[in-house]
Amino acid sequence: MQQEPKIVVIGSLNMDLVVKAPRAPKRGETILGEEIHFIPGGKGANQAIGLARLGAETTMIGAVGSDAFGAELQEALQRDGVNTSSIKVLAAQPTGVASILLAEGDNSIVVVPGANAQCLPEDLKRFEAKIAEADLVLLQLEIPLETVEYAAELARRYGKIVLLNPAPAQTLSRDLLSNVDYLTPNRSELALIAGVAEDTPLDQGIERVLELGVSTCITTLGAEGAAYRERGGRLLRVPGHKVPVVDTTGAGDAFNAGLAYALARSQDIREAVAFAGRVSALAVTKFGAQGGMPRLNEVAEYFREER
Pairing of strands 106-112, 236-238: unpaired
- CA–CA dist 105, 128 (Å, integer): 41
Smaller CB distance to ligand RIB: residue 172 or 289?
Answer: 289
Q: Which of 266, 275, 263 is nearest to 306 (CA)?
A: 275
Q: Which is nearer to ligand RIB, 57 or 247 (CB)?
A: 247
**Residue numbers of the site for ligand RIB (CB under 6 A)?**
12, 14, 16, 41-43, 46, 98, 109, 111, 142, 249-250, 252-253, 289
Residues 6+ apart with CB under 8 A from 203: 229, 235
Task: Give the span between the Cα atoms of 231 and 220, in whole angstroms.
Answer: 18
The 3-state secondary structure of 106-131 reads EEEEEEECHHHHHCCHHHHHHCHHHH
Among candidate residues 195, 234, 17, the one with its CA nearest the CA of residue 107: 17
Residue in the shown chain whose Cβ atom is closest to ligand RIB: 41
Query: Nearer to ligand RIB by C-beta: 69 or 127?
Result: 69
* Shortest distance (Å) from residue 299 CB to ligand RIB: 19
Q: CA 56: distance to chain centroid?
A: 15
Residue 102 or 273 having the CB closest to ligand RIB:
102
199 annotated active-site: no
Q: Tell me how far, at minimum, the Cβ of 82 lies from ligand RIB, in Å.
A: 15
- Output 14 or 93, the one with its CB closest to ligand RIB: 14
Q: φ, ψ for residue 266 (rounded to 5)?
A: 65, 25
Q: Smallest distance, Å, CB 253 to ligand RIB?
A: 5
**Minimum distance between the CB of residue 213 and ligand RIB, rounded to whole angstroms?**
25
Q: Which of 135, 181, 247, 253 is catalytic?
A: 253
Q: How far is the CB of 170 from ligand RIB (least distance, A)?
A: 14
* Residues annotated as part of the active site: 253
